[in-house]
Structure 1
Amino acid sequence: MTSPTPAPLPKYEDKSQDLHDLGGDEKGPEPNLLDASAVDAEKEFTVEENRALLKRIDWYLMPIMAMTYGIQYADKQSISNSTLFGIADDTHLHGQQTAWLSTIFYLSYLVFEGPMNYIMQKVRLGLMVLRTLIGGFESCISPGFLMIVASWYKREEHGMRSMIWMAQNGFFAIFTGVVTYGIGVATQNNGGIAAWRSINLFLGGMTSAWAIVLFFLLGTPDEVRWLSPEQKKQAAARIVSNQSGGGGQSEWKWSQVKEAFLDPQIYCYFLISFLADVPNGGYGIFGGIVTKSFGFTSLQVILLNMPGGAMGGSFNVLSGYLAGKYKNTRTYYMAFSMIAGTAGLLVAALLPQEHAYRWKKWGGLLCMSIYSTAVFMGWSMLPSNVAGRTKKSVASTMSFVGYCVGNIVGSQLYQAKDAPLYRPGLIASAICFGLTFVVIFILRFYYIYVNAKRDRQARELGLTVEEMERLGKINGENDLTDIQNPYFRYSY
C-alpha cells in the first residue's frame, strides 16, 4: 500500500502564500469556510466566557448523547437477554438462525452506513425484518455522534466527552439487567405474556419516545436552538484550533476520498474496529448462554451481567479522564483493555467446565468487560486525527464498516454445534483481541514518526510554535487534510 506523501513545510518567508498551495487541489464553497482572520476569533472571548460556554454545552449535549447511546444499546442488546427467556423456542429458531438475528442487524448497519454518512456530509422473517430495521436506523448514531463531538469540542476534549456517552453501553447494561430481571421474575411468578416479548416491548417503546426529545435538542452549533447567535459564533471559534475544519456542510471532494483510501492510519482504525468487534458480534448475543453454561440460572445470569457493565462503563470514563489529563496516552488504555480481554476470554474458555470453576470463569468474563475501551477510544481518536471534511466522513465510514464486518464475522463464529460454552468462538475472539493489541501500537508508532518528522522540518525553518498553530488553523478551516496540512500534529 502506497501512502500519500505529507505536504512539505513551506519556506519561512512564504508563509503568506495561498493556502491551497500547501497541498490542496480543490476549494470548498467559500461561504462555509472561515477566512484567515477568523482563526483569531477565539481571542475575542475571555477565558471565563469560554469556560461558561463549555459548561453550557456539556450540560446540554452530554446527558442527551449519553441517554441516546444507552437506550439504543439496551434496545439492540435485548436479543441477548431474550435468548435466556425462550425466544428461540417460542419462534422455532434452530441451528444458526439465532446467530443470524445478530448477523442481519449488522448487515443492515453496513448497508446504511455509507449513505447515512454521505447525507450528514451533505446535508423468523418477522424477527429478521425488525432486526434489519433496527440496524439501519442505528447506523447513523455512532458516526453522527463523533461528528457532533468534533463540531463542538477542542481536540483535547474529544476523548473524555466521547467516552462519557460511549460508556453508557456498560452503565445501561445495569439498567437493562434490572428491567429484565424484574420482568423475568414477574413472568415466572404470574405467567402472562412471554418475558422476551415484554422486554422488547418496553425497550422498543422507550427508544421511540426518546427519539422525539432528541429531534428538538441535538445538532451542530449552527442548528441548535439553545445558543444565542453570539454563543454560536463563540462555539465555532472554539474549535478552530483543531485544524480539522468545522462541523458544517461542504462540497464532496473526491481527492480527499482517494487520500483516505491511501492513508495508513485509516486502515489501522478499520482493523481495530474489525478485530475488536469480532468478539462483540458473537458474545453480544451468546454471552448469556455462555455464562449460564458455567452452572448459573437465567435469572442469576441477568444479575451477574451487571458488574461487567459497571466495570466496562467505569473504565471507559476513567480512561477518557486520564487521556484528557495526560497527553498522548489514549493508545495505552486501548492496549490494556485488549490484554484484559484476551486473558479473560482464555480463562473462560480453557478452565474445566465444572461447577467448582464457575466463579473463576465468570471472573474471566468480568475482566473481559473492559474490551470496549479499545473500540471507543479508537473512535474518539478518529475525529482528532483526520482532517478534511470529506476525508473525515470517509474515514468514519471505513471504521464503522470494520465494526459491522467484525460483528457479522463474530456472530457466525459461535456455531450451534459448540453450544453452550462455544469454546472455539471464545478462543478465536481472544486471538482477535491479541491482534488488535498489535495494530494499536503500529498506529501509535506511525503517529510518533510523522510528528517527529514534521517537528524536525519546522525547526529547520525556524518556525515558532505560535506561527505553526496559526497556519495550521488557517489550513484546517480551508478544508486541508491532515496530510496536506504540514502544521497538523497527531494525538495518540
Structure 2
Amino acid sequence: MSNIGGSYEKKGDQNAGITLSEIDSHADGESILLSQNGKLVKAGDRDEAMLLLLQHQDHSIELDLEKDRKLLWKIDWYLMPIMCLLYCFQYMDKVSNSYASILGLRSDLEMKGDMFSWSGSAFYLGYLFFEYPAVRILQKFPVAKAVGIFVVLWGIVLCLHSVPNYAGFITLRTILGMLESSITPAFVIITGQYYRKEETFLRTALWFSSNGIGTIIGSGAIAYNILEDEKNYSLAAWKLVFIITGALTIFLGIIILVHLPDSPANAWFLNEEEKLLVVARIRANQQGFGNKHFKWNQFKEAFLDIKTWLFFFTAITGNIPNGGLTNFSSILLTSDLGFSTKKALLMQIPNGAIEFVVCSLFAYFSKYVKSRMFWAILALWISVLGQLLLSFASNNKVQLAGYWIQAVGPVSFICILSSVASNVAGHTKKTTVNAILLIGYCVGNLIGPQTFLASEAPHYSTAKTCIAVFSLLSAVILILIFVTYWFENRLKDKRENDLEKEKFGEIQHIEFADLTDKQNPYFRYSF
C-alpha cells in the first residue's frame, strides 16, 4: 500500500508518492499547507484536488494498472454519453436555422438580400458578447449546475423561434448564442478534470464530433420527417423544427442538472477511494480540478502568452468556413448542386456520419502516432482538398463528395480545445484562454455567413474561395503552434537547474497549487 498518488508509476508521472505535509491553522481558521522547508501555499491558491487530499490525508490507497483501467472505463461510461448527447443537441439547435431556411423560414419572414446571412451571424454576436461572462460564471459557480440552467433556458428560447417577424427572430438567435456560449468552455474544464493529457484528445473528439450525430438527427430524423408529413400539421414545418428541438433540449437540460457532477470531488458515481484515485491519476497533468479564486497575474499571463493568440487566430481562420457552411449548406445543396429540398436534407446525413466517425478515428490513431498536432494538420489538409472540390469542381457529384470530405476538418479545432484542456494550467488562465479562443471561434463564425453574398447566388464564388483560403491559413497556424510547444519544452528543459529545484522542488503537491504552465517548472506541453 502507498499514500495517495503513490505506487502506480507511468512514464511522465512526476511527484508520485509525495506525502502530505503538516497542516497548520491560522487564527481565522484558514488552513495553510506547509512545505518541508516552511514555505506556504495559501488555501486561496490551492486547487480543489489539493483540498480533497487534505480531507483524506490519513487515507492510503494503491493505484495499479487494473484499478486505473476500471476507473477510466467508469468515468467514460458516466460522463461521455451525456456530454456527447448535449454537444449533439447544441449543434442540432444551432443548425436548425439551416434546415428551416429551406422549409419556408425565409419566405414566411420575408427575408431578402443578406437578411438570412445576418440570422446566422446574430447567433455568434450573442456568443461573442457573452463568452467571457460565461467562463467567469463557470469559474465562480458549480460548472454542471450552471450548464444545466443554461441548457434549459436555451431550449425555451429555441421553442420561441417560431415567431411571426424577422426582428423577433434575430433577437432570439442572439440570445440563443449567449446561452450556448457556456457549453464548450465547460466541457474543456470537465475533460481536464478527469483525464490525463494523453487521454483528452480522444475524449474531446468524441463529444465535439457528436456535432455529426446532431446533423443526422436534425436533418434526417426531424427536418426530413416533418417535411414528409407537412400537410398533417397546423404549424409551418420550419416552426416545428424549432419547437421539437427546443422541447428535447429542455428535457436534456433537466437530465444535466441531475446527472452531471460539478467536479470529481463531488461526483456521485465515484466512491471516496475512487475520487482519490482520480487525483492520483491526473497528477502528471500538473493541474487539478479548478480554483474559484480569480487571479490577476494569471489573467495577465493569458494575454501575454503567444500561444493564446495562435489559438485565437487559428479559431478565426478555421471557423470562417464553418460559419458559412453551417448556415448555408442546405441552400448550397438545393440552389447550387441542384438537389430537391428532401434530397438536400438526406445528403447531409453522410456529412454528419463522416464527422463523427472519422474525427473520432483520427483522435484514436494518436495512440499510435503520438502527436495530436500531426493528426490535426493531416485532417485539415484533407478537409481543404474537399473544400476545393466543393468550390471549384464542375460536376455536382464531385462537389457533393467534396462537401462530405471536408467534414473531417473539425479535427483541427478538437486538437486546439484538447490543448487548452491539457496544456493551459492555472484555472484563471485556463478560463481566460478558453474565452479568447472561443471569441476567435465567434469572430470566424460571424464572418463566415457574410462571405455568402446574395448578389452571387446560387454559386457564391466569394464564399467558396474564402472557405479554401482560410482553411489553408489555419493549417499554417497549427504548424506554428506545434513549433512553439517544441521550443518552449526545450527552454523548460534547459532552465530546470538547481535554482529552479530549490525554489519549487520542496513545495508539497506543487501540481495542485494552481500554478500556470509557465510558473510550474515541471510542466511540459504535450503536442
Into which bin does the TM-score normalised by the smaller protein fall?
0.7 to 0.9
2:295 counterpart of 1:277:
no
**Alpha-carbon separation, structure 2, partners of 1:47 and 1:139:** 38
- Report if the CA contact (8 A) 1:53-1:231 is conserved: yes
Give the structure 1 partner of residue 464 of structure 2.
426
Task: Report the counterpart of residue 510 of structure 2 in structure 1.
Answer: 475
Which residue number corresponds to residue 340 of structure 1? 382
Which deviations, in whole Å up to 9, do the C-alpha atoms of 1:223-279 show, x marking residues without a partner?
Answer: 3322223322222332222102x2233311101111111111111111111110111
In 2, Cα distance between equivalents of 1:31 and 1:446? 27
1:322 equivalent to 2:360? Answer: no
User: In the alignment, what sits opposite 2:161?
Assistant: none
Would you say 1:28 and 2:44 are equivalent positions? yes
Deviation larger for 291-300 or 397-406: 291-300
Q: 1:98 aligns with which of 116, 129, 133?
A: 116
Aligned mate of 2:522, from 463, 470, 487 = 487
Instruction: Label 1:282 to 1:447 Cα distance change in 2 as closer, same or farther (>3 A).
Output: same
Deviating more after overlay: 270-279 vs 129-138: 129-138
Is 1:234 the counterpart of 2:277? The answer is yes
Matches within 5 A, 1:162-177: 162-177=204-219
Q: SS at 1:71's partner residue? A: helix
Letter in 1 for 2:197: R
Change (3 A) 1:274 1:17: farther
Tell me whether 1:451 sits opposite 2:489 in the alignment. yes
Q: 1:398 corresponds to which residue?
A: 436
Counterpart Cα distance in 1 of 2:255 and 2:324: 32
Shift of 1:359: 0.2
**Matching of residue 209 in structure 1 with residue 251 in structure 2:** yes
Find the counterpart in structure 2 of residue 222 from structure 1.
Answer: 265
Does 2:400 align with 1:365?
no
Distance in 2 between residues matched to 1:199 and 1:42, nearest whole Å: 54
Contact 2:49 2:265 in 1 (8 A): no
Per-residue deviation, 1:73: 0.8
Residue 36 (structure 1) shift? 13
Q: CA offset at residue 16 of structure 1?
A: 6.9
Structure 2 unaligned segments of length 5 or more: list them.
Answer: 1-34, 142-165
Q: For 1:17 and 1:131, how far apart are their aligned partners in 2? A: 57
- State the 1:398 CA deviation: 0.5
Cα 1:236/1:69, change in 2 over 3 Å:
same
1:330 alignment partner AA: R
How does the TM-score come out when normalised to structure 2? 0.82
* Superimposed CA distance per residue, residues 329-382 of structure 1 (whole angstroms, 9 cap, x where no aligned partner): 211221122212222222222233xxxx11011111111111111112211111
Q: Secondary structure at the match of 1:289?
A: helix
Q: How far did residue 423 of structure 1 move?
A: 1.4
Superposed, 1:299-318 pairs within 5 Å as 299-318=342-361
Higher relative contact order, structure no. (Cα contacts within 8 Å, ≥ 6 residues apart): 1
1:112 aligned residue: 130
Q: Tell me, yes or no, if the aligned pair for 1:266 and 1:395 is still in contact at 8 Å.
A: yes
Question: Paired residues, what number?
Answer: 464
For residue 447 of structure 2, what is the amino acid of its counterpart? V
Greater shift, 35-44 or 296-305, is seen at 35-44
Deviation readout 1:291-332 (Å, 9 max, x if unpaired) = 2221211111111111111111112111221224432x2112
CA-based RMSD: 2.8
Q: How far apart in 2 are the matches of 1:287 and 1:54?
A: 38
User: Aligned in 2, Cα 1:368/1:388: closer, same or farther, shift over 3 Å?
Assistant: same
Report how far residue 135 of structure 1 moved.
Answer: 1.1
Alignment partners' CA distance in 2, 1:261 and 1:457: 23
Percent identical pairs in the alignment equals 32
**Gap regions ≥5 residues in structure 1:** 1-14
Write out per-residue CA displacement over residues 96-120 of structure 1, whole angstroms, 9 at most, x where no aligned residue.
1111111111111111111111111
- Paired letter, 2:310: C
Q: Is the 8 A contact 1:289 1:421 kept in 2?
A: no
Which of 100-109 and 31-40 deviates more?
Answer: 31-40
Query: Which of 118, 121, 125 is equivalent to 2:167?
Result: 125
Q: Distance in 2 between matches of 1:426 and 1:16?
A: 62
Query: Structure 2 vs 1, CA of residues 161 and 367 (structure 1 numbering), >3 Å: closer, same or farther?
Result: same
Q: Distance in 2 between matches of 1:340 and 1:474?
A: 43
Matches of 1:301 and 1:73, distance apart in 2: 18
Aligned to 1:10: none
Structure 1 letter corresponding to 2:135? N
SS at match of 2:516: coil
**Matched-pair contact (CA < 8 Å) for 1:243–1:474:** no
Instruction: Give the 3-state SS of the residue equivalent to 2:266 in structure 1.
Output: coil
Aligned CA distance change for structure 1 residues 340 and 316 (closer, same or farther; 3 Å): same
Task: Provide closer, same or farther for how the CA distance between residues 311 and 463 of structure 1 changes in structure 2, counting only shifts above 3 A.
Answer: same
Name the SS for the 2:525 alignment partner: coil
CA deviation map 1:158-209 (0-9, x unaligned)? 111111111111122112222211111111x656432211211111111111
State the secondary structure of the residue aligned to 1:420: coil
**2:393 counterpart letter in structure 1:** L
CA contact (8 A) 2:291 2:514 kept: no
Q: How far off its partner does 1:390 sit?
A: 0.7
Q: Is the 8 A contact 1:150 1:158 kept in 2?
A: yes
Distance 1:243 1:31, change over 3 A: closer
Report the Cα offset of residue 401 of structure 1.
0.5
Question: What CA distance in whole angstroms lies between the structure 1 residues aligned with 2:139 and 2:427?
Answer: 8
For residue 271 of structure 1, give the secondary structure of its aligned residue in structure 2. Answer: helix
Against the structure 1 CA distance between its residues 78 and 251, is the aligned structure 2 distance closer, same or farther, given a 3 Å change threshold?
same
Bigger proportion of residues as helix:
1
Deviations 1:41-99 (A, max 9, x none): 99633332232222211111000101111011111111111111121001111111111
State how far apart, in whole Å, the 1-side matches of 2:226 and 2:72 are.
Answer: 41
